[in-house]
A = this chain, B = another copy of it.
Amino acid sequence: MAMADGLSKDLVVEDLRPILGDRLSTSSAVCEQHGHDESYHATHPPDAVAFASSTEEVAQIVKICARHKRPVVPFGTGTSLEGQVAALKGGICIDMTPMNQVIEVNAEDLDCRVQAGVTRKQLNEYLRGTGLFFPIDPGADASLGGMAATRASGTNAVRYGTMRENVMGLTVVLADGRVIRTGGRSRKSAAGYDLTRLFVGSEGTLGVITEVQLRLYGIPEAISAAVCPFATLEGAVNTVITTIQSGIPIARIELLDEVQMDAVNRYSKFSYPVLPTLFFEFHGTELGVQEQVKTVGEIAGEFGGADFRWARKQEDRNDLWQARHDAYYAALALRPGAKGWATDVCVPISRLAECVLTTKSDVENSGLLAPLVGHAGDGNFHLSFIIDPDNPDEMRRAEALNERMVMRALDMGGTCTGEHGIGTGKIKFLQAEHGEAVEVMRQLKLAIDPDNLMNPGKIVEV
């Protein structure tokens, strides 16, 4: 088997070379770098990395891999958190970053089409001056193809939805090299199975996403952001719950515990009180934002929040949100040399206080360094275990804590991951959450990837 593998591996590289030239790398540094994401998950380097330049080229690469039955692992910015890019069974990693063109912006229809390697910040930079923006913002400046593949969300999801709601269509290269276009440019459609949403969140296991059609939004007339510390974590969470239950169309409402705030202060040179804190943003008309601010201010006051610190200028808001997006890197910086294990769950909003507070007390009992941060308006929060993966005791404690947190979320009608995806890290929890439905996922996977070549070992085991 090892010999056959070695042989087909060499043959694939031999067949790819004429197409890709020096855009095919077998250097161990490049393969190593493409074999892991930003988490603690072990590195599994691919046989080679192909830097793709077009959909047609991706199709050629995939066809060659199919002929030799070698796996294909799509790679964006490598910022996933559940081991999604590890080449568990070797094969060819397709690095999509050279496919970084914005193909079209239809300002009058609030949509655009991009190649999969365009990053979220690059798109928003491109849109500067159009009055439009793309809201979905995971912490990293991820590629939009990768964000579609992991069904990413971020701080704006409470108002604008996730990639599920904001991807209108895709170009996908299937396991046999066929190219399909899903979805379209109309706001709704009842035309057949919703392939777009099947591929959104499929983490490269059903095909390689090469182009993405996205919804855009007009930049609101008024934007206002604020930071508010709370005496207790409970007060902060209850402010979130009441805000959401009141139907206030808040754009962002982010929760950071005091450990995370300490990390943010150090990393981003802020001097916020080291207390459980909410970051808010309000979008709307001038009057609408004033109304929202007043109502949310009253709610926060009831729960022990005081002292809203406002970021009125755009630069100040950018600094504030950059600090929030850097939360994971800030947490990592608390312990130089350590790795991060970022886990996330999502629960119905009415259960958020119970879930967060019980988890927090679990963290305190564990003795682990694990800042808590979350897109609390969605009922979604993360723990980042800052650990030494070579320390079995730490790993055991992190595993136990993660398992308790996930099973608690499932008991509450929630999900084992709100936005990080399954990868390799949450396969057993997917089974716990969806039971027999996982078998259906497996059947669908095999229907369009019968040889299990597309990012094998992720989401469903075959």
Contact = CB atoms under 8 A, between A and B. Distances in A.
Interface stretch (A7-15, A36-44, A45-53, A179-187): A179-187
Contact of A415 (B189, B195, B346): B189
A213 to B, nearest CB: 10
Residue with the highest number of chain B CB atoms closer than 10 Å, among A349, A426, A446: A349
Contacts of A438: 192
A151 interface: yes
Q: Say how many copies of this protein the assembly contains.
A: 2
Contacts of A413: 184-186
Contact of A194 (B161, B201, B291): B201
A459 B195 CA distance: 13
B421 A190 contact: yes
Contacts of A184: 413-415, 433
A137 interface: no
Contacts of A415: 184, 186, 188-191
A318 interface: no
A422 B157 CA distance: 31
A182 B418 contact: no
Interface stretch (A88-96, A104-112, A227-235, A388-396): A104-112
Contacts of A445: 193
A151 B187 contact: no
Interface string A155-170: 0010001101100000
Nearest to A244: B110
Interface residue tally of chain A, by bracket? 35 or more
A188 B440 contact: no
A346 B193 contact: no
Given A187-B379, A350-B108, A414-B185, A440 B194 contact: no
Nearest to A221: B247
Contacts of A162: 188
A198 B189 contact: no
A448 B443 CA distance: 7
A245 B111 CA distance: 12
A452 interface: no
Residue with the highest number of chain B CB atoms closer than 10 Å, among A189, A201, A429: A189
A433 B151 CA distance: 25
Given A174-B440, A184-B433, A414-B185, A349 B291 contact: no
3 smallest beta-carbon distances between A and B, as pairs: A447-B447, A189-B415, A185-B413
Interface of A: 106, 108-111, 150-153, 157, 161-162, 164-165, 174, 178-182, 184-195, 197-198, 200-202, 206, 217-218, 220, 245-247, 284-285, 287-288, 291, 346-350, 378-380, 409, 413-422, 426, 429-430, 433-441, 443-448, 459-460
28 contacts: A108-B350, A109-B349, A111-B348, A150-B190, A151-B189, A151-B190, A164-B197, A174-B440, A180-B437, A182-B434, A185-B348, A186-B409, A186-B415, A187-B348, A188-B378, A188-B415, A188-B418, A190-B420, A190-B421, A191-B421, A191-B430, A192-B434, A192-B441, A193-B202, A193-B459, A285-B291, A287-B287, A443-B447
Given A157-B188, A185-B414, A194-B197, 10 more contacts: A161-B165, A180-B435, A182-B434, A185-B413, A186-B409, A191-B416, A193-B198, A193-B441, A288-B288, A288-B291
